[in-house]
């Protein structure tokens, strides 16, 4: 989707790890570490594909599979800066009413996630409204 609307839409991803998932925080840390090596979207996709079997070993396997520099990955994953980003995103999410993931906002309005086709219609409606 980001390629389809790349000149019309800005996607912002915030971290809001679910307290109900034992490895959600680690997954957030790992995705931000992957971002620092230009592999956020690939890493995120693999995390979602493996969310039922996610653990430390699976996270490391994904990082290796994507050919990340493992020394840098581990350093970034555990860095105070990454921790601060996650803590900030959680606090901001709570402040604006986020209760779980995924939560989607379009032009500052929280939207209900329906079918993929419905989601695309909502995006295209906002793009059309903003182009007038």
- Do 62 and 124 belong together in one domain? no
Domain harbouring 32, CATH code: 3.40.30.10
pTM: 0.81
Asked if residue 85 and residue 119 are part of one domain, the reply reads no
Instruction: State whether the Cα torsion 118-122-128-132 is positive or negative.
Output: positive
Tens digit of each residue's pLDDT (9 = 90 or more) over 46-83: 998 998 899 999 999 999 999 999 999 999 999 999 99
Residue 59 contacts residue 26 (beta carbons within 8 Å): yes
Q: Are 18 and 101 in contact (CB under 8 A)?
A: yes
State in Å, rounded, how far the first CA of the chain is from the last one: 22
pLDDT digits (tens, 9 = 90+) for 13-59: 889 898 888 899 999 999 999 999 999 999 999 998 998 899 999 99
Q: Which domain holds residue 3?
A: 1-98
Please count the structural domains in the chain. 2
Co-location of 27 and 50 in the same domain: yes
| Co-location of 75 and 123 in the same domain | no
Whether residue 35 contacts residue 42, with contact meaning beta carbons closer than 8 Å, is answered with no
36: number of CA atoms within 13 Å, CB side? 20
């Amino acid at each position: 989707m980001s390629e389809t609307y790349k000149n019309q839409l800005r996607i912002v991803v915030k971290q809001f790890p679910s307290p109900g998932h034992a490895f959600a925080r680690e997954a957030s840390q790992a995705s931000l570490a992957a971002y620092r090596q230009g592999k956020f979207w690939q890493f995120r996709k693999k995390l979602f594909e493996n969310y039922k079997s996610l653990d430390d070993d699976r996270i490391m396997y994904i990082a290796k599979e994507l050919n990340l520099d493992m020394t840098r990955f581990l350093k970034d994953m555990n860095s105070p800066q990454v921790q601060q980003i996650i803590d900030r995103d959680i606090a901001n999410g709570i402040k604006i009413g986020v209760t779980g993931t995924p939560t989607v906002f379009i032009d500052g309005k929280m939207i209900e996630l329906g079918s993929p086709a419905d989601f695309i219609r909502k995006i295209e409606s906002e793009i059309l409204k903003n182009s007038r």
